[in-house]
Amino acid sequence: MALLLSWPTLRTFLPLGLVTADLHHWTAAYEIAFMGGVAAMALSLAPLEEFSWLMRPLGPAGRIAVQSTTLLLVAGCAGLLALIPAHLFHDWQLVSFRAEDSFPALVLGWAHAAALGVVLLQVPMDRILRPILAMVLIAVVPGLVIGDTLPGQAILAWLDAGETLRESFEFPPTGAHWVGAALPMTGWAACALALAWPGADRRSRTCDTPS
């Protein structure tokens, strides 16, 4: 409901100057869609873990593929609740903003967040801690890190899933941008496979056995 109401809310309050001057209601709609999708993905980690025993016959690679697809679909379905009203009643006003550039960047951001979520699913931890940790890593840490140093740039590259989306508001992403944004996502997927492969079935039995 909050995501559905985001478009009329932005439409009403942004012209009143109640937010920063450089925030436009169409780029804000995409930002809300991204964060709404990430929040929905984080909340789906716990139930997805509960049903991981159904994926055990698929093996580590199959299980990770199903988990990644599920998280991406959850993020997409939630995020589209904010975008559908914006596109039904669109009146793009920013010359530099192009929905055909920003929408693929948005999907890429969701995929990046989903890859990180899959890694967290392979690490045994409390079910309440996992969604909190996902939101902290994706939404909080990138805002606290300054990319002026090599360690800071590395952290942002791995955790800032929305970077390409924000850049797409100002100029069309180039091929180098897409490749650079996909590399950390590929790294997270490889990390998830590495965590899932050795002793995956034994760890799943320990974590998934009902008390």
Residue 209 is given by DSSP the state S
Count CA atoms within 13 Å of residue 37 on its CB side: 30
As a whole number of angstroms, the distance between CA 14 and CA 24 comes to 7
pTM for this model (two decimals) = 0.78
Q: Which helix (H) or strand (E) holds 81?
A: helix 59-88
pLDDT of residue 198: 59
Neighbours of 189 (CB within 10 A): 19
pLDDT at 89: 62
Cα–Cα distance measured from residue 113 to residue 98, given in angstroms and rounded to the nearest whole number: 23
Tens of pLDDT along the chain (211 residues)? 555 555 555 555 554 444 444 445 567 778 888 888 999 999 999 888 888 778 888 888 888 999 999 999 999 998 888 787 766 766 545 445 677 788 888 999 999 999 999 999 999 888 889 999 999 999 888 888 887 788 888 888 899 888 888 888 878 777 777 888 888 888 998 999 898 875 544 444 444 444 4
Other C-beta atoms lying within 10 Å of the C-beta of residue 156? 16
Confidence (pLDDT) at 107: 92
